[in-house]
Amino acid sequence: MKCDLHVHSRHSGTLPVAILRHFFLESHSAPSDVYSTLRKRGMDLITLTDHDSITGAEELRRYPDFFVSEEVSCRMPSGTNVHVGVYDLNERQHVEIARRRDDMIRLLAYLSEQRLFFTINHIFAAVTGRRNADDFEWFAGYFPGVEARNGQMLPAANKHAEEFAWRRCKVQVAGSDAHALASVGTTYTEVPGARTKDEFFAGLRAGYGRLHGEMGGYWKLTRDILQLCMEMMREERWTLLLAPAVALVPAGVAVDYLVDRYFIRHWGSAINLPKRAPNAGLRAMAARQKQPA
């Protein structure tokens, strides 16, 4: 079975940027359009991972292949912000998660108690701001899953996420992180042999998941942002006044990627750089001394 485990709809809220939050939504895609696009692109299971919201699920509950998920905006003990994917939850669990999302210790305890599957998303990307070295200790110690392929992130970020997951024996998942319909379902997780949602998650937890599809890049992100702008102007005619600013999108994406490349290079080398085993030289010397002359 195939499932895009990271996809957004118009219920993801506004852009988390001071001025832009008054004009731009994270996505303008209707849940029904996201659903039909995912089906057309071969997904067997359907979910939405809107930011801190399950409102979009109301339109899709009638479908037997749909399950409720969300991407939770959380605060780490270090004070940094992260996005956590939480899957196959109900309304009560959503409410309890919202109460705990600014207290990572309480949140992790609750997710574990409820036996919910959850992941740390885009771990080597600057999308949620700064990172602290202690954050990675939390990811390694308490998160069962890592988003190892994100359809909007640079290949280098995904490569480091995959390496982080392999070294720490974490479940790996993939999702498009699509905010525009053009990218919906283009990156996904497959569990071969699964026939139901329960079998899909059982296989995922057992390490049988396979990651497929696209990664991010400059032109892809630029295309998706331009599509968001077009959808915004089609829905809210007054925003046509902002049309001249659309010309700045390519430059803005370029700046974003420069920041991301620095973030990836810094944290990738700091966290995944191979470390020499302690006393390896002494062990090699002892082995040579044991050899006959």
Find the CATH number of the domain harbouring 187: 3.20.20.140
In a domain, 287, yes or no: no
In a domain, 87, yes or no: yes
Structural domains of the chain, count: 1
In a domain, 68, yes or no: yes
User: Tell me, what's the pLDDT at 16?
Assistant: 56
Domain interval for residue 54: 2-272
How far apart CA 125 and CA 62 sit, in angstroms, is: 35
In a domain, 74, yes or no: yes
Average pLDDT, the chain: 88
Under-50 pLDDT residues of the chain = 17-19, 21-22, 275-293
Q: How does pLDDT run across 3-56, given as a tens digit for each residue? A: 999 999 999 986 654 445 445 778 889 999 999 999 999 999 999 999 999 999
User: Tell me, what's the pLDDT at 23?
Assistant: 56
In a domain, 290, yes or no: no
How far apart CA 242 and CA 19 sit, in angstroms, is: 13
User: Tell me, what's the pLDDT at 142?
Assistant: 96
In a domain, 163, yes or no: yes
Do the beta carbons of residue 79 and residue 38 sit within 8 Å?
no
Q: Which helix (H) or strand (E) holds 149?
A: strand 145-150
Question: What b/e sequence results for 237-255 when a residue is b if at least 16 CB atoms lie within 10 Å of its CB, and e otherwise?
Answer: eeeeeeeeeeeebeeebee
In a domain, 183, yes or no: yes
User: Tell me, what's the pLDDT at 230?
Assistant: 78
In a domain, 84, yes or no: yes
